Structure 1
Amino acid sequence: MQPLFDAVECGACNKVVPVHRSIIGAKGDRICTSCARPDVVDEPIIYCSTANTPPWITAIGFVHFDLLLGQVLDVLYPPLPLSVSQETEVSFLCFPDANHVADGDSIHDFVFAYNASECDASRMSVKRQSLAADKSPSSAPSPSSSPKRGFDSSSTELFCSTLFRQKRDSSIERGAQQKALVVMSRYPFPSVSHQILRIVCAELWDTPGSDPESTLKAVYDEICSWPPPLPTNTYRLTLMNRELSPYTTPIYTAAQLESLRWSEVNVNASRVAWRAQLVDALVASDATWTNVKRALVVFLGSAGCTTGLRNALEEIVASAVTPDTERVAMTSILRQILEVNSERSGGEHHGHEGGSTSSGALLHLFRRSTEPPLRPDIVCIQNEALEQLQERAHAIVSSPSLSRAECNVNGPRRGKHLFHELEFHHAMRPHLLKLWKLWELLIIGAPLAVISFDAPTVTAICFSLASLFAPLHFGGVLRPYLTINNREVDLFMTEQAPPSTIVGVTNPFFVRKCMKWPHFLCLSKEVDEPATHKMMPVDSEKREKQQFKLKNRMFCSRHYLVKTEKTVGEITQEVSNGRSSPSSKGSFVDLNPSSMEGNSMRQVRQHFLDLTEEFLAPLKIIIQTNLRRLRPFFVMKTDGGGCGDILSEDTLLRELSSFQGVMPYSSFKTRADMLSVYKDFLQTNAFRVWCGEQYEGIRREVLLGAMSLEEVLLMNPQPSTRHLVLQALQEQLDIVISRPIVDLTLMQKLSALCSSIPALRVQLSIS
């Protein structure tokens, strides 16, 4: 085995480690100390909250119906700078699209997406301005501020729950009183949102003389005093002197919360990808203004560039007109990019664990080149940014308000996944035998339109379907409730349905619009069947087959490859006993754990969770094996893009076809069908998100297993490019600290590994 400087290759894991971190094995070869240790059970991830952790809810509002203006968002606290069109859209989403609701209350959920560039800062008030005044000619929006179409990474998507009330009132010209409460949140926790709505409804509408503005403000302030919601942690919360049901938060990662969205482009977009690429262009030894300008243009148009930073960079670019000012301009740009938008914490920097190697002892690991790998002016700026990052890390650890929680992703204490609290058994009862087909549609990223008789049912079904293939995170476009007033309607109702999309509607008008969709699910009540066949053209193929004239039908344009001969009786005996669904519509949440419906739902979910994990098991083994073998790439890659550029689709399919482990043969009709489903799955956004999670997990494992900065540097076998590892470690520390929920263990480890970087950079710049 040829040593590389003072490093050797482990005979067990092929990992390059320092000589003093290895021992002589039984066969006479060198084995790293990690392989020599007995197997250690994976410890749960320790997450902690910071000042950037969002509260349970983002805003709470009150919507009423005006006879002249329609739905109006009357009060919103805290005020969001929503434009008139954005307020109109969220107001219409709070009301049912068709009048299928009798007197009483109904609760449904939806996803509201708005673009910050369309917001109107002049409308930042709790009591919303009159829409009639906003629609005056003098306040008409300019052509440059016209609403944007499409999904983009700069949109903010909020999970919203609304309680709609209709009450007959002969004194009103319309004959009924209609109003709604809406809760907006970064977290998709429907059970908590529904309980908040019921308590606020009792306090605001059922209590005479209540003021909406003061009530909503008091509710929001009390919710902000709750402990921050950390993954897989159980909370006992109270609101308005009423105790909520104990709630255990689902499994979600810090990276998901940073962009917990259901838009395909948004999931793909990395907050720091373009930032990292621009920094690479600026710190390159052969950096020229032409190369930097090309990366700068891309960064200015990305979501990672804030408005203030964009204005500052544009001023610098405008002043760089001569070659003499190019270097000054590039240095100024780098300082703006790496600056930290937070107050510098006072006090001494905290001590570091491990990693005590001096910078002088590390210099021999870098091979000198014709040009220095680091310039003194660039080193100064990077070291300043690193110093601020370490001070922020110290402030997080020493904060008296720090809240920690163990995220148990694996093992018997594994928590629930997103939307697993929703009860969909009753509404899906006519289609329970088709759940395996729906699971296959979700795996291959096929578009699916769902139509139902009311908003609560269709939203519960859409969210439940999105969670049917957990632990995969639905990375497509999820719109569980659309109305004819949505600006996004034109994006969905096209000749070709967008891939990886789930859309829920209640208005039969959408049947004509969704006629070109390949997969359509229709749900109806026994006594209230939507006459969807009347909305279709006479020459429609679906009308000829009467797919929608019959109630509770599913139309799909796909030859299924998964076995569908199974019955729900194999999972639970509740349906096979011939029980009919109750006549009253439930709330789809807060099921009694001991009830028969609750047990049946949990058994069905557990079955499909096991089915998905069995499907992912071969891929997981192949990906993790390859990533551990290509260990140097983990340290240098910082954009969070996953492993798509390391493992191609052809490579994965080839290894799957020759995989010797356990394969999910029993779930598919033939082996060829199984490989065909794998091939379609590798092209979906759900796979890219999941692959990115695997990449992040292996990189975390590599960094936590490193005993010193020297060991991390030796992971890169090319000495002339090891200076890039220093930048990658700093970039990774910036990513971890900037997340709304911080991985405490990883942050402390990165801070310790970076402790020797400033002095080492200075030595490299003058060597």
Structure 2
Amino acid sequence: MALPSPEKPADLLLNESDSSVSPVDAQNGPGHSEQPLLPWDRFSCWLHCVCVVGFDLELGQAVEVIYPHSSKLSDKEKISICYLSFPDSNSGCLGDTQFCFRFRQAAGKKIPICYALDHLERDAPIFLKSDPGHFYGYVYFRQVRDKTLKRGYFQKSLVMISRLPYVNFFHSLLKLIAPEYFEKSEPCLEAACNDIDRWPAPFPGKTLSLPIMGVVMKVRIPSCYDKPGTIQIAQSCQQDDAQVSVVLPTVHEVDLFRCFCPVFFHIQMLWELVLLGEPLVVMAPSPSESSETVLGLVSCISPLKYSSDFRPYFTIHDSEFKEYTTRTQAPPSVILGVTNPFFAKTLQHWPHIIRIGDMKQAGDIPKQVKVKKLKNLKTLDSKPGVYSAYKPFLNKDEEIIKQLQKGLQQKRPSAAQNAILRRYFLELTQSFIIPLERYVASLMPLQKSISPWKNPPQLKPFSQEEFMKTLEKTGPQLTSRLKGDWIGLYRHFLKSPNFDGWFRRRRKEMTQKLEALHLEALCDEDLQLRIQNHTEVETVDLVLKLKDKLMQAERERLPVKADTLSRLRTHIETVIGTLPEDLQGILLKPGSPQEATS
């Protein structure tokens, strides 16, 4: 979903009557679908599977259990999960550790997405839609001393594999399930999965009560209709609702202030690097700090979607290792989180490297560290900081630094510091994207140019130079106090994967809007009067075209008014009724497009 401006620029040329458009089944929710639910249908809306990864003295890391047992994973995917589910040996993670990884789905394999999830995807914000080409792995790793084992340690990970980027939710879920599983083994895991299979689908905009292992989690799945920057916390638990033990304020957000604390003074520069899709490496002492920082970087340009690849935890065993570490070409647009010291040498040719030490507690005041030259980065033991030759386009915002420093000195709660930083990034991103939204809205043809008897008009092409001219009067200076080379920042952004991804989505949305307006214009016509001078062949041709329009509207879920499709069906039936009976029989026979869509 594109960022809105206070003026709703994408709708400037459209009728206000669009308010009658509403999501399909928005009130009823997924439970009202006509499709019968099959075993594990509800489970698959949330998770692809749950894996247990253990350590075998002969085989090394190995997948011991996959649940449900019918879940499909290729051998390559299993290997990826094995290596990504354990910290590197140098991490020394004793006790319990949680982190996240992301890996590509095996090529040539299509896994059907839960029908309810597919049906509701359009109501999710763009940055929270399920990922068709990648899986997320949410890990709860336990390593404790155990003299009864040859290795001397108990080492095992419980891993949830999902397409959904609900980081906070799945980590919270694992905190409930994993300790119980390590104590009681597989029957406990089976019971938890059966609980999940009784959950409703993750319906955007709804507050859901999710029973799990004797307690209830209450969460609200964000919707694309939410106002950016507002966290609509799950409805407060009633005092007599003793079962509800976990209420999550957000399903997906990480603590930005905690993530950026080690490189506190460079937050604005890091925002630019992420916005422009620059290659970034995060070198951290543990997978939890690596994954948290990468996820924090990706989310700092929210609600703009980060359109390049990112790996919260990346190892030398990853199938993309050679692709991402080769020196024969420039580093790709990707953010990698690593912990292995080997990467300090392998990736030292990358242009931007963030080195973080142990994350500071909320009460510690970070020291100001200058951006260092890349030649000073030799090993993973190098001092924490940002290693880059990058010169920011925008002047540093000293006010946000002072505000956060003051919060540290006054021991302001971590949640408040996080909220301040998240609002700062949101406002910065909105100031940047609103001029683009306003210009793209001007590419929309006037509604009066839409004729029901001609193809929908085309969008005007995007002109970089025309857009740049608009910045003088309607640029980010209207909403941001920051000075600097905004023009240079835009020029670089227009070459980035993030612009490409954003513009493709906006163009698709606007093209669908034109199709919807064209369809509504057709429905407003008196077709019976129109066909009086038509031949039978022309009338049949009109029926077939109207059926195509109907099928397209349903297939692409065009944003039409609530009654438009039923009016179009009525038009089709009326036109068919003017034809001879033999033609009516053919056009209305079972299995025809009209019958199939009714």
- Structure 1 length normalisation: TM-score? 0.57
Q: 1:525 aligns to what? A: 358
Which secondary structure state, in structure 1, belongs to the residue aligned with residue 281 of structure 2?
strand
> Does residue 1:613 correspond to 2:430, yes or no?
yes
Which secondary structure state, in structure 1, belongs to the residue aligned with residue 90 of structure 2?
coil
| Deviations, residues 364-390 of structure 1 (Å, cap 9, x unaligned) | xxxxxxxxxxxxxxxxxxxxxxxxxxx
Contact 1:63 1:180 in 2 (8 A): yes
Contact 1:250 1:415 in 2 (8 A): no
Superposition map of 1:621-640 within 5 A: 621-629=438-446
Return the alpha-carbon distance in structure 1 between the equivalents of residues 62 and 174 of structure 2.
18
Change beyond 3 A, Cα 1:497–1:456: farther
Q: 2:102 aligns to what? A: 111
| Deviations, residues 533-563 of structure 1 (Å, cap 9, x unaligned) | xxxxxxx983457797642111123221012
| Deviations, residues 641-689 of structure 1 (Å, cap 9, x unaligned) | xx9x74324355344345446646856544xx21121122222232233
Q: CA deviation at 1:99?
A: 3.4
Which secondary structure state, in structure 2, belongs to the residue aligned with residue 442 of structure 1?
helix
Q: 2:502 aligns to what? A: 690
Contact 2:289 2:359 in 1 (8 A): no
Change beyond 3 A, Cα 1:576–1:705: farther
Which secondary structure state, in structure 1, belongs to the residue aligned with residue 45 of structure 2?
coil
Q: 2:461 aligns to what? A: 647
Contact 1:45 1:408 in 2 (8 A): no
Give the fraction of aligned pairs with identical amino acids, expressed as a percent. 24
Q: 2:62 aligns to what? A: 72
Return the alpha-carbon distance in structure 1 between the equivalents of residues 465 and 289 of structure 2.
42
| Deviations, residues 33-56 of structure 1 (Å, cap 9, x unaligned) | x57x8x979988974435588522
| Deviations, residues 372-416 of structure 1 (Å, cap 9, x unaligned) | xxxxxxxxxxxxxxxxxxxxxxxxxxxxxxxxxxx4346967789
Q: CA deviation at 1:204?
A: 1.8
Q: 1:478 aligns to what? A: 310
- Of 22, 41, 49, 1:59 maps to 49
What stretches of structure 1 of length at least 5 have no aligned partner? 1-12, 16-33, 121-153, 253-406, 528-539, 580-594, 715-719, 738-742
| Deviations, residues 404-445 of structure 1 (Å, cap 9, x unaligned) | xxx434696778999752114234213122110011111212
Q: 1:232 aligns to what? A: 205
Return the alpha-carbon distance in structure 1 between the equivalents of residues 521 and 469 of structure 2.
34
| Deviations, residues 191-236 of structure 1 (Å, cap 9, x unaligned) | 22122222222322223xx4x1x43332222112111112233223
Q: CA deviation at 1:508?
A: 1.4
- Of 554, 558, 574, 1:733 maps to 554
Q: 1:194 aligns to what? A: 171
Return the alpha-carbon distance in structure 1 between the equivalents of residues 525 and 312 of structure 2.
45
Change beyond 3 A, Cα 1:506–1:706: same
Which secondary structure state, in structure 1, belongs to the residue aligned with residue 195 of structure 2?
helix
Q: 1:434 aligns to what? A: 266
Contact 1:432 1:568 in 2 (8 A): no
Q: 1:165 aligns to what? A: 142
The amino acid across from 2:67 in the alignment is Y
The amino acid across from 2:424 in the alignment is H
Return the alpha-carbon distance in structure 2 between the equivalents of residues 687 and 558 of structure 1.
20
Return the alpha-carbon distance in structure 1 between the equivalents of residues 45 and 292 of structure 2.
24
Return the alpha-carbon distance in structure 2 between the equivalents of residues 40 and 734 of structure 1.
22
Change beyond 3 A, Cα 1:522–1:41: farther
Contact 2:49 2:162 in 1 (8 A): yes
Return the alpha-carbon distance in structure 1 between the equivalents of residues 138 and 573 of structure 2.
49
The amino acid across from 1:600 in the alignment is Q
Return the alpha-carbon distance in structure 2 between the equivalents of residues 618 and 202 of structure 1.
50
Q: 1:249 aligns to what? A: 221
Q: 1:87 aligns to what? A: 78
Contact 1:188 1:418 in 2 (8 A): no
The amino acid across from 1:709 in the alignment is L
- Of 257, 277, 298, 1:445 maps to 277
Superposition map of 1:234-633 within 5 A: 234-244=207-217, 246-251=218-223, 407-409=225-227, 421-495=253-327, 496-525=329-358, 542-544=374-376, 550-572=382-404, 575-577=407-409, 596-629=413-446
Q: CA deviation at 1:620?
A: 0.9
Return the alpha-carbon distance in structure 2 between the equivalents of residues 633 and 709 of structure 1.
8
Return the alpha-carbon distance in structure 1 between the equivalents of residues 71 and 215 of structure 2.
28
Contact 2:444 2:510 in 1 (8 A): yes
| Deviations, residues 140-185 of structure 1 (Å, cap 9, x unaligned) | xxxxxxxxxxxxxx97312220100001122322221100101111
Contact 1:419 1:467 in 2 (8 A): no
Return the alpha-carbon distance in structure 1 between the equivalents of residues 465 and 545 of structure 2.
28
Which secondary structure state, in structure 2, belongs to the residue aligned with residue 89 of structure 1?
helix
Return the alpha-carbon distance in structure 2 between the equivalents of residues 609 and 118 of structure 1.
37
Return the alpha-carbon distance in structure 2 between the equivalents of residues 653 and 553 of structure 1.
36
Contact 2:55 2:61 in 1 (8 A): yes
Return the alpha-carbon distance in structure 1 between the equivalents of residues 191 and 208 of structure 2.
21
Return the alpha-carbon distance in structure 2 between the equivalents of residues 229 and 446 of structure 1.
33
Return the alpha-carbon distance in structure 2 between the equivalents of residues 762 and 518 of structure 1.
69
Return the alpha-carbon distance in structure 2 between the equivalents of residues 65 and 633 of structure 1.
67
Q: CA deviation at 1:113?
A: 1.8
The amino acid across from 2:313 in the alignment is Y
What stretches of structure 2 of length at least 5 have no aligned partner? 1-11, 36-40, 112-130, 235-248, 361-371, 528-537, 584-598
Which secondary structure state, in structure 1, belongs to the residue aligned with residue 83 of structure 2?
helix
Q: CA deviation at 1:94?
A: 0.7
Q: 1:325 aligns to what? A: none
Return the alpha-carbon distance in structure 1 between the equivalents of residues 295 and 385 of structure 2.
20
The amino acid across from 1:408 in the alignment is D
Which secondary structure state, in structure 1, belongs to the residue aligned with residue 391 of structure 2?
coil
Return the alpha-carbon distance in structure 2 between the equivalents of residues 415 and 637 of structure 1.
42
Q: How many residues align?
A: 499
Contact 1:433 1:567 in 2 (8 A): no
Contact 2:54 2:64 in 1 (8 A): yes
Q: CA deviation at 1:629?
A: 3.2
Q: 1:28 aligns to what? A: none
The amino acid across from 1:248 in the alignment is R
Contact 2:86 2:141 in 1 (8 A): yes
Return the alpha-carbon distance in structure 2 between the equivalents of residues 661 and 179 of structure 1.
53
Return the alpha-carbon distance in structure 1 between the equivalents of residues 568 and 331 of structure 2.
45
The amino acid across from 1:467 in the alignment is S
The amino acid across from 1:200 in the alignment is I
Deviates more, 1:543-552 or 1:721-730: 721-730
Change beyond 3 A, Cα 1:761–1:227: same
The amino acid across from 1:67 in the alignment is L
Q: 1:99 aligns to what? A: 90
The amino acid across from 1:507 in the alignment is N
Q: CA deviation at 1:73?
A: 0.7
Return the alpha-carbon distance in structure 2 between the equivalents of residues 62 and 618 of structure 1.
48
Q: CA deviation at 1:70?
A: 0.8
Contact 1:98 1:506 in 2 (8 A): no
